[in-house]
Amino acid sequence: MMSPSVRVEIDLHRIRRNAEQIAARVGVEVWATIKADAYGLGAAKVAQTLRDVVAGFCVFAREEATSIDLWNLTRRPAMTMGPPADLNPAAWLAAHVRPAVSTVEQAARLIDARPILCVDTGMQRFACPQPNIADVLQAGRIDEAYTHATRLEHAERLVEWLAPHHPPGQRIKLHAAASSLLDEPAALLDAVRPGLALYRGAARITAPLVEATDSTGPVGYTAWPSETGRHGVILAGYSHGLRPGPCLVNGRRQRLPEVGMQTSYVTLSPGDRPGDVVTLLGDDLIEADVAFAWGTSPHQTLMQLAGAGVRHYVEG
Ligand SMILES: *Cc1c(COP(=O)(O)O)cnc(C)c1O
C-alpha cells in the first residue's frame, strides 16, 4: 500500500551520474538492470534518463519492457534474466528483447530471437548446468552467455566453462557482474549489468510528523521506553512497508522504535515539532544502514520504501 503522507523523491540526475561513473570505471558496456519497475523507482523514467549512457537494459520478463514500450522509448535493446514465458520468436523480435535460455528446447525454439545462454555457475536456478553448455549453444547458434554472479568465482567459472566453445575466429560475448562485482576487474568481462549501483542515493523518502509530544512514561502498543523524552508520529506503517529502524529528523539520527499498521512512532529531540520532516531514506541515511537494521538486503529496503508513498521526480 501507498501512504499519501509519504513522499518518494527520485533524483534522475543522480541515477544518470551513477551510470556515467560506472561506465567510466568499468570501461565495458553497461546494461542497466531496470527489473521490478527499476527497483520501485519507475522503469520508464529511469530508462529514458539512461538511454544515452547504456548499451541496453535488463528486465526479468519481456512484459516489463513491452509494458513501457521500452524500444520506442529508448531505441536500446533489452534482454530478460528470468526464464522465457513463451517460445514464440516473433514476439521477442517485435519487442527488441532477447530471451535468456537454459535448455536445448528453449534455445532451438527461440533461435530466431537470438537467445542468450544463462549458465548456472552456482545459483542453481533457471540456468544451464556445465555439462549441457555445448548442446544449448549449438541448438540456438548462441553468441552471448552470462551468469548470475554474486561472487568472483561465478564469473571465473563462466569464463573457464565457455573457453572451449568459442567458434574459430569469433568470441562468445560474456557477462557476469552486477553491482557487487563492479570493483573486481576479473568479473567485468564484456559487459556489466548493475541494478542497485544505479539507484544508490537517488531516492529520498520522507513523511511529516503529524504529532510531536513529550513522553509521559512508556509509549505505544509495546510500552517502549522513551529514551529521548519526546516522540512523534508519522502516517505510514507496516502496511506501507515500513519497519522499525533508523530515520533522520532535523539532521539528527532518530529511530522508529515501533511501527504499526498505518502509523509509526518516531523518537524526537526537544525542538522537533509537528510538520518537521522525518527522512526514512536519503540525505545521510543510506540503503545499507536501513537494510542492516532490518536484517535484509539494500535491494529489498529500497524496493519496499520506494513503494511506500507518492513518487516525485526531481532533476538534481
Ligand atoms: C537483479 C540482477 C542483476 C542486478 O543486480 P544488482 O545487485 O542490483 O546490481 C544482475 N544480473 C541478474 C541476473 C540479476 O537477476
In the chain, what percentage of residues exceed pLDDT 90?
99
Q: Give yes or no for residue 101 having a pLDDT over 90.
A: yes
What pLDDT, on the 0 to 100 scale, is given for residue 26? 98
User: Does ligand 1 come within 6 angstroms of the Cβ of 145?
Assistant: no
What pLDDT, on the 0 to 100 scale, is given for residue 223? 95
> What CA dihedral angle connects 273, 275, 280 and 285, to 10 degrees?
-60
User: Does ligand 1 come within 6 angstroms of the Cβ of 19?
Assistant: no
User: Does ligand 1 come within 6 angstroms of the Cβ of 148?
Assistant: yes
What pLDDT, on the 0 to 100 scale, is given for residue 213? 98
- Hey, whose CA ends up nearest to atom 7 of ligand 1? 179
> What predicted TM-score, i.e. pTM, was given to this entire model?
0.97
State the pLDDT confidence band at 253, using cuts at 50, 70 and 90: very high
What pLDDT, on the 0 to 100 scale, is given for residue 17? 98
State the pLDDT confidence band at 70, using cuts at 50, 70 and 90: very high
- Burial letters 6-33, b for 16+ CB under 10 A, else e: bbbbbbbebbbbbbeebbeebeebbbbb
Average confidence (pLDDT) over 279-298 = 97
What pLDDT, on the 0 to 100 scale, is given for residue 274? 98
Average confidence (pLDDT) over 256-279 = 98
Ligand 1 centroid distance, CA of 299 (Å): 10
Residue 93's H or E segment, with its range, is: helix 89-95
In the chain, what percentage of residues exceed pLDDT 70?
100
What pLDDT, on the 0 to 100 scale, is given for residue 115? 98
Ligand 1 centroid distance, CA of 224 (Å): 39
**Residue 3 vs residues 75, 236, 248, 308: alpha-carbon distances, Å:** 35, 6, 19, 6
User: Does ligand 1 come within 6 angstroms of the Cβ of 182?
Assistant: no
User: Does ligand 1 come within 6 angstroms of the Cβ of 196?
Assistant: yes
What pLDDT, on the 0 to 100 scale, is given for residue 205? 98
Q: Give yes or no for residue 170 having a pLDDT over 90.
A: yes
Report the residue among 26, 64, 81 best suited for mutation to probe ligand 1: largest number of ligand atoms under 8 A from its CB. 81
What pLDDT, on the 0 to 100 scale, is given for residue 185? 97
Q: Give yes or no for residue 22 having a pLDDT over 80.
A: yes
What pLDDT, on the 0 to 100 scale, is given for residue 178? 98
Mean pLDDT over each residue of the chain, to the nearest integer: 97
What 3-state class would DSSP assign to 129? coil
User: Does ligand 1 come within 6 angstroms of the Cβ of 133?
Assistant: no
Ligand 1 centroid distance, CA of 281 (Å): 21
What pLDDT, on the 0 to 100 scale, is given for residue 315? 84
Ligand 1 centroid distance, CA of 194 (Å): 6
State the pLDDT confidence band at 177, using cuts at 50, 70 and 90: very high
Identify the residue whose cell numbers are 530515520. 247
DSSP labels for 263-304?
Answer: -EEEE--TT--TTPEEEEEBTTB-HHHHHHHHTS-HHHHHHH
Report the residue among 15, 33, 37 best suited for mutation to probe ligand 1: largest number of ligand atoms under 8 A from its CB. 33
Q: Are 61 and 91 in contact (CB under 8 A)?
A: no
Average confidence (pLDDT) over 17-27 = 98
Q: Give yes or no for residue 316 having a pLDDT over 80.
A: no
